[in-house]
Structure 1
Amino acid sequence: MNNLNEFLEPGMLVRHPNQPDWGDGQVQSNIDARITVNFQNQGKVVIDGRHVALVMLPSR
């Protein structure tokens, strides 16, 4: 399966489509489809980009 988030780079803002209560998150890294995101209400989470397509938010 392909990396659904290969365009994401550190610093970009995202939301998890299945976890809206986590709030906005900032991408920390994107290596081999493993995206580390620091979410406002959940903290740092590593997401498998082959299974979850994060929603990119406009930069502030």
Structure 2
Amino acid sequence: MNTAALAWFKSSYSSNEGGNCVEVATHPSAVHVRDSKTTDGPILTVSSTTWSNFLDRVTCD
């Protein structure tokens, strides 16, 4: 899949203070995650179910 064609957005779990942000792009069969500072770097790709399970377990203070 060509991830450059995806609509990337800043995760709602990222802070507004800059520096430590992740971007997310969804596709019917997968969720893609990347570092906003290195958009041409590595991309983590997981199934929609895995992403949902991850978010269910994330806690933000």
Task: Give the structure with the larger helix fraction.
Answer: 2
Task: Give the structure with the larger strand fraction.
Answer: 1
Structure of greater Rg: 2
Class of the TM-score when normalised by the shorter of the 2 chains: 0.3 to 0.5
TM-score, normalization: structure 1?
0.38
TM-score, normalization: structure 2?
0.38
Give the structure, 1 or 2, with the largest relative contact order (CA under 8 Å, sep 6 or more).
1
